[in-house]
Amino acid sequence: MGTCVSTSRSTCSSKSNGEPAPPPCLGIGLCGQKRTKRTFSDRLVTFQHLPSIPNRVFTNGKSRTSCIFTQQGRKGINQDAMIVWEDFMFEDVTFCGVFDGHGPHGHLVARKVRDALPVKLQSLLNSSQSRQNGPGQTCFMGNSKKSDVGDLDKDGSVEDKLNSLWREAFLKSYKAMDKELKSHPNLDCFCSGSTAITIVKQGSNLFMGYIGDSRAIMGSKDSNDSMVAVQLTVDLKPDLPREAERIKRCKGRVFALQDEPEVPRVWLPFDDAPGLAMARAFGDFCLKEYGVISIPEFSHRTLTDKDQFIVLASDGVWDVLSNDEVVEIVSSAPTRASAARILVDSAAREWKLKYPTSKMDDCAVVCLFLDGKMDSESDYDEQGFSSATLDQSNHSGNAAESDDGQKSEPCLQRNFTVRSAEENDSYGRLAVEVDGDGETVNAEDQSWSGLEGVTRVNSLVQLPRFSEERPDP
């Protein structure tokens, strides 16, 4: 499901008969003119329509420009979810996301967010753009480039409006998503939640919104034409100064347990629970009054010809593989369609090497290739996949492990970015020091938490026990 290709086409038309031209468009992929052609509004969908939408892939498989793969760990049901949605709002617009659930109902939360968040983003973006341009005058150009609108507004305000439009849509859709989870009648999110790493690629523009500790990186070529890793997001862990300051200001507590000193967690002020290993998440409403938020970090990046691919993955991958290793694995995969699977297999081997006594975490990977090219169908089938038929096991994400003896798969040497057990013994209980003047932390200061692997038993340590009377914080 979700791997068929739509044959419908839509284009932007322009006035050529002397009529007044509409206001400059913001370049997002819609012509809001007469209903004789399919528009962005026609593509808005409801939750019930999701299974029949073309170019929407959410199980192990591939699309025209990407491949995705997830594998269950050793902790129970797979709580990771993922999605690639091509022609998201219009042609040349692609939505990608990875969601890592935690808690008793984390798998349900992750899947709910996977399905509902993109629809909310669509709806809010359409509403915002309609308000800005007025009825009947909305025009998004799917293939617009900066040079296309440069003559219209040389002071950069068009690009600023585009960026502002996407920022507002991301912020409001995340807020609406968390609000829906809180009021959901059949889904208990009090001590369950999910991370989210979501990106939208529109032409040469890349818009990103994310919460939690899932991560996005990009493989790009440097001046010597060598592949390098570029980290696009920051792992929003509780010990980042600005995150820890907010949590403490809200009476929450941040510290790590003695047996896992490199995993800072968020705790209630009156109980050593639940021990959430991230500072932002959907759900987890037991901690929302104590500094955990669902407001996403938003960023925009202009892609260049040097940029080759983007990898989104849950922390089951990043706990054992560095950014550089991930780029090496994806770029050296025998076929692009197999890159996500090979990356997950490599992470599984690293878990066995580094943490032989620990339970492997779930892994989910999305690989988006920026030149829009993929392998032939025959190459893909040779890797054991089918773009038309997906197993039920793939739908649940409980894919079987691959044969480690495949010669075509890159085999990593064990890396030592993770402290050994002996080194961990030298660390006591980890208390987070907040830098008073460190409200804004640059990427170099924050990347350390993402590049070092950690042993994590669970994203939550234990569920809180609430009595009728809570002691004062």
Distance CA 362, CA 344 (A): 9
Tokens of 316: 């089951």
pLDDT of residue 162: 86
Mean pLDDT value of segment 111-140 = 76
Q: pLDDT tens digits for 371-380?
A: 988 875 444 4
- Residues near 397 by beta carbon (within 8 Å), at least 6 away in sequence: 59, 60, 70, 71, 72, 78, 80, 81, 362, 364
What are 258-283's pLDDT values in tens digits? 988 999 999 999 999 999 999 999 99
Mean per-residue pLDDT for 160-169? 90
Q: 3-class DSSP state for residue 176?
A: helix
Q: What is the pLDDT of residues 386-429, one digit of tens each?
A: 433 333 334 344 443 333 333 344 444 433 333 334 434 433 33
Instruction: Give per-residue pLDDT as tens, 39-82.
Output: 444 455 666 677 778 889 999 999 999 999 999 998 899 999 99
Higher pLDDT, 326 or 467: 326
Ordered domains of the chain (ranges, CATH): 49-130+159-235+294-369 (3.60.40.10)
Query: For residues 9 and 458, what is the distance between their CA atoms, to the nearest angstrom?
Result: 46
User: What percent of the chain is modeled with pLDDT above 90?
Assistant: 53
CA distance 61 to 316: 19
- DSSP letter assigned to residue 128: H
**Measured between alpha carbons, how far is 273 from 265 in angstroms, rounded to an integer?**
9
> Is 298:324 a contact under the CB 8 Å cutoff?
no
Contacts of 64 (CB under 8 A, 6+ apart): 5, 55, 86, 372, 374
Whether this model's pTM surpasses 0.85: no
Average pLDDT value over all residues in the chain:
76
Contact 65, 374 (CB under 8 A): yes
Q: Say if residue 233's pLDDT is above 90.
A: yes
Q: In this model, does residue 334 exceed pLDDT 60?
A: yes
Is residue 340 within 8 A of residue 68, CB to CB? The reply is yes
Closest CA to 163 of 293, 356, 69, 26: 26
Q: Where are the beta strands (DSSP E) in 72-156?
A: 80-86, 93-102, 138-139
C-alpha span between 368 and 66 (Å, rounded): 4
Q: For the residues 196-203, what does the mean pLDDT come to? A: 96
The reply to whether omega before 274 is within 30° of 0 (cis) is: yes
Strand order through the sheet with 307-313: 61-62, 66-71, 363-369, 307-313, 215-221, 227-231
